[in-house]
Amino acid sequence: MHRVMAFAPSSSANLGPGFDVLSVAHDAYEDSVEAELMDGDELRVEVNGEGVPLDYRNNSAAWAVYNMCRQEGLRVGVRLNIRKGVPIGLGLGSSGASAAAAVAAVAGAPRVEGFER
């Protein structure tokens, strides 16, 4: 199987005068995403945390991967295994960390037969 793991750190965008425009990554927490390219065009999501949607349309990591593939004209099946380390709902960039790690993992995965433009 062709699998790639990527990590993304937590972040903070509440930097006073930056008004959520400035942000900083920190090493307090991190999310990891393992992406596996498969035959077909299914986008499957597995998560180790509670409260994270499995439907790709409601999951920030899967939605980012779906849109990346669509914009690039790629047809491929993807299985995302998301390991939440960034706490949800505390303003630490939990959704963004998952999305960044997922896109990085899929973009870095070796191209296999069935991965078409």
Greatest mean pLDDT among 34-48, 77-91, 99-113 lies in: 77-91
Alpha-carbon gap, residue 115 to 55, rounded angstroms: 22
For the chain, first and last CA: distance in Å? 20
The model carries a pTM of 0.85
Q: Is residue 60 part of a domain?
A: yes
Average pLDDT, the chain: 86
Beta carbons within 10 angstroms of residue 21's beta carbon: 8
Domain range for 42: 3-108
Q: What is the pLDDT of residue 98?
A: 95
Q: Could you give the C-alpha distances from 108 to 11, 17, 69, in angstroms and in order?
A: 23, 36, 13
- Assign residue 55 the CATH number of its domain: 3.30.230.10
Q: Is residue 99 part of a domain?
A: yes
What are 74-85's pLDDT values in tens digits? 888 899 999 999
Task: Give the residue-averaged pLDDT of 39-45.
Answer: 85
Q: Is residue 116 part of a domain?
A: no
The number of domains in the chain is 1
Alpha-carbon gap, residue 51 to 64, rounded angstroms: 18
Beta carbons within 10 angstroms of residue 25's beta carbon: 15
